[in-house]
A and B are shown apart, each in its own frame.
Chain A
């Protein structure tokens, strides 16, 4: 493959859409380029569970014909995208990364798929994930997903394939689902942009559930502009999901270039400066905050005392919800689950109701503390994760101590769970690399339904830095 074709593969979805509109590139050619890259790299990276070459080429041919007929084109016209295998796709298997659903073929598209296709997107395939969008999978039934920056390292989850495919240019953009960090964590560890919109902003119809009050679909992209573009496409009221907001889709793109002048930004002290946060991560995040200050924002430290508890509170609530959904299969098909998934769901099945209620009340307090902070600040910042991607082996093997549980589950989630528990939007963007060459993620949290300010600040930072322009050596 020529470097020109590689360069095309790494262009943003917005730029590819513009090239298609201007007849400078054919959607068929774009699909072929990504299919070739999938052939070359995915046997190792395992981003995809299902690739759809014939369907994608057929859709691309139709897209090309529409361009030639000078039809009115959608904002993603002819752009090849892929989605986490958690979203239902009519006539295409939807596995949730589990042997239990290996043969599951939905009859209807999830609303987000309908909207992406309606905007002209070309679906390339379905992406790998931790089983049932829980973390802690020990043996991935469809192959071990690997981090493109170092294949011995974890790509993050649960939207693992979504992060890998975007970082390795195996698609132009992807969609993941974030219950407790499942978009932001793989974005951070794979060095791409990951947006968790406000809860209720995006329809959950056709997305296999984990927790009704936390599940949120969101884009993983190579640029902030693409995250804004995909959000505008998928957001908005859906009568098939009565909990979606009736607010119109946010007009984030026009505001992107307005800069951060005058914005008040608070660095969350308990996450950024905690002992658990690795030094390189803390250094990169504080440098990013200084950069935002240099761009005109006011930056202060802010204390949100309860956020260190967010990881455990999240697991008590989300895992209980998940365990409730899985009870029939846990009773009759338990051994078909991956060992890690089964043990996590069994544990959650036994959480006492009194503890669940205590966690639900604590969630309300955490939400109140975050919203109080957001009354004084336009945005909050902190690391997306306490460390860069660890080796895959770090999460392998049986759990033999309580410290194992805390290390594998609670600590990391305390960085991403606060936004989930509060229902507020948050974005992960690259803000540096470790000495080992692994990406570090900056997280920005915003006010409910104010994705525009969140994206505006992320865009301003992205334009001033070169982190998003680096590519992994594959």
Chain B
């Protein structure tokens, strides 16, 4: 995912009705870009066939 600019982050927050000070905006932009960068390796994983279920009741060891 391309790096987000402060203007784009500001627009996203405004669309959700979330107030943000100028200092908030600078830090939130850093935080969001850092998180997206840290999650970038997930794009290389075979995730298409994985169901995003947090708890499976009948997995091994749980019966």
A residues apposed to B, CB below 8 Å: 199-200, 213-214, 306, 309, 311-313, 315-316, 327, 330-331, 334-335, 339, 342-344, 346-347, 349-352, 355, 357-365, 371, 374-375, 398-406, 410, 423, 447-450
User: How many angstroms between the C-alpha atoms of A331 and B17 in the bound complex?
Assistant: 6
User: How many angstroms between the C-alpha atoms of A334 and B37 in the bound complex?
Assistant: 27
A342 with B24: in contact, given A358-B43, A360-B52, A450-B61 (CB under 8 Å)?
yes
B residues apposed to A, CB below 8 Å: 1, 9, 12-13, 16-20, 23-24, 26-28, 30-39, 41-43, 45, 47, 50-55, 59-62
User: How many angstroms between the C-alpha atoms of A352 and B45 in the bound complex?
Assistant: 18
- Contact residue among A316, A344, A359, A364 (Cβ-Cβ distance under 8 Å from B53): A364
Rounded to whole Å, the gap between the CB of B4 and the closest CB of chain A is 8
- Contact residue among B16, B24, B35, B37 (Cβ-Cβ distance under 8 Å from A316): B35
Name the residue on A nearest B32 (C-beta). A347
Rounded to whole Å, the gap between the CB of B20 and the closest CB of chain A is 6
- Contact residue among B26, B27, B45, B55 (Cβ-Cβ distance under 8 Å from A362): B45
**19 sampled A-B residue pairs with Cβ under 8 A:** A309-B39, A311-B38, A346-B18, A346-B20, A347-B35, A350-B28, A350-B32, A355-B1, A359-B42, A362-B42, A365-B50, A375-B60, A403-B34, A404-B34, A405-B30, A405-B31, A405-B34, A405-B35, A449-B62
- Contact residue among A331, A351, A360, A448 (Cβ-Cβ distance under 8 Å from B62): A448
User: How many angstroms between the C-alpha atoms of A40 and B17 in the bound complex?
Assistant: 47
Residues of A within 8 A of B37 (CB): 402
A402 with B61: in contact, given A331-B18, A334-B19, A342-B24 (CB under 8 Å)?
no
Name the residue on A nearest B62 (C-beta). A448
Name the residue on B nearest A400 (C-beta). B30
Rounded to whole Å, the gap between the CB of B44 and the closest CB of chain A is 11
Rounded to whole Å, the gap between the CB of B25 and the closest CB of chain A is 9
A347 with B41: in contact, given A199-B55, A331-B19, A371-B59 (CB under 8 Å)?
no
Known: A351-B32, A355-B36. 16 other contacts (CB 8 A): A309-B41, A312-B35, A331-B17, A331-B18, A339-B24, A343-B28, A347-B32, A350-B12, A355-B39, A361-B50, A363-B54, A400-B27, A404-B30, A423-B55, A447-B61, A450-B61
B27 touches A315 (CB 8 A): no
- Contact residue among A306, A327, A423 (Cβ-Cβ distance under 8 Å from B54): A423
A398 touches B36 (CB 8 A): no
Name the residue on B nearest A198 (C-beta). B62
A359 touches B39 (CB 8 A): yes
A313 touches B39 (CB 8 A): yes
- Contact residue among B16, B36, B42 (Cβ-Cβ distance under 8 Å from A309): B42
